[in-house]
Amino acid sequence: MQGKRILLVVGGGVAAFKAPELVRLIRKAGASVTPVLTRGGAEFVTPLTLSALAGAPCHTDLFDLTREAEMGHIQLSRAADLVVVVPATADLMAKMANGHADDLASTLLMATDKRVLIAPAMNVRMWDHAATRRNRATLEGDGILFVGPDEGEMACGEWGEGRMAEPDQILAAIRAALSPLPTLPAGMPSLRLPPETLVTPPAPQPLKGRHVIVTSGPTHEPIDPVRYIANRSSGAQGTAIATALRDLGARVSFVTGPATVPPPERVDVIRVETAREMRDAVEAALPADAAVMAAAVADWQVVNTSDRKMKKDGSGRPPALEMAENPDILAWIGSDARRPALVVGFAAETHDVVANATSKRQRKNADWIVANDVSDGTGIMGGTENEITLVTPDGAEPWPRLAKAEVARRLAARIADALQDAGVAAS
């Protein structure tokens, strides 16, 4: 990418906050960036931020007479090697598909003679809307390149496809788009195939033929018909892990407690409520090549549960609850005769994260522990991002704060590599 020029159009979506990181990555790779900020994009990132990171003016207005005199929007649209749109909102995609040019961004996209790469980002229902599907088909037919969107939790609180690809994914797509296209021998006429004849190479599936068990979400331990003990878990990270493993070709048995995030598609979903039910479901799913124990399992259950709602009796005394320890699913599967080749546990800690996770890995006979700090202020529990430390026999490996979907992709790739390196035959 050394010496390449990128015209970066920043659209008006929440995902625009990732644009500064993308600018940094592009420049680190040796390319220059000319930012174009839409009015909507300016609600999430400032022209000064983009200009400072790009080391170049940030363009915002179509009728900026000074800059029009210097280069004009036509020249600006053609002075780059690649035009990149992040995020490509439903509105921007509609303008591109239907030839609208009513602001600087849409005008540049109409006037350019260079390849265009877009990273869509929008609500899952907007992405699945018939109008967006039509616009997608039109843009693909016009030769527009796409990266993403991914499946994951959205700023609106919903879950599904429509989350913008991460900056490192977009950078990889930029590299691919800038790669020289193959040329035909001299004298051979060029061929233009219709879009429907173009074949996208299948994504690598290093986990094809493998079976992975993933636990996710909280468990609910009943007190009476209306009350229960639970851990705070949305199930977002476990769902993202199951999705990533599925995308690498694995058959996934997804054992989930009552999570707020819906389970992924195209996996075997086993729904449970209690820790005992989760343990039984994991056992029934064996044998497996790997097990990822991401669920936030309640440590305790109530022995003296009531079949009636417990009511206050006016004494001011709480009901006497007799507690018993729940089965330790991670410790059990780590020592069972049918133990998967790779067992990955999770450790949600509020202090001494690495020390506690290291001790847990040894006690539970796990191969890896995914540890994170869930103390107040981190925003990890129930949030869209995670910051983990991967604890293995080789030590503790801190990862940067990433979207949970990206954590899942990296972890799934590591699992695939570990099974391959160990020479484990598919179950």
Give, as one character, the DSSP assignment of residue 197: G
For the chain, the straight-line distance linking the first and the last C-alpha, in angstroms and rounded, comes to 42
Q: What is the dihedral of CA 120, 121, 122, 126, to 10 degrees?
A: 20
The pair of three-digit structure tokens given for residue 399, joined into one six-digit string: 């990862």
71 — phi, psi (to 5°)? -135, -30
Q: Which of 134, 101, 330 is nearest to 215 (CA)?
A: 330
Q: Which of 364, 186, 170, 159 is nearest to 265 (CA)?
A: 159
Contact 15, 121 (CB under 8 A): yes
Instruction: Name the active-site residue from 79, 156, 422, 426.
Output: 156
The alpha carbon of 39 is separated from its chain's Cα centroid by a whole number of angstroms, namely: 27
Give dist(CA 172, CA 281) in Å, integer: 39
Give dist(CA 240, CA 119) in Å, integer: 20
The pair of three-digit structure tokens given for residue 402, joined into one six-digit string: 């990433």
Give, as one character, the DSSP assignment of residue 289: S
Q: 3-class DSSP state for residue 75?
A: helix
Task: Indicate if 58 belongs to the active site.
Answer: no
Q: Which positions are catalytic?
A: 156
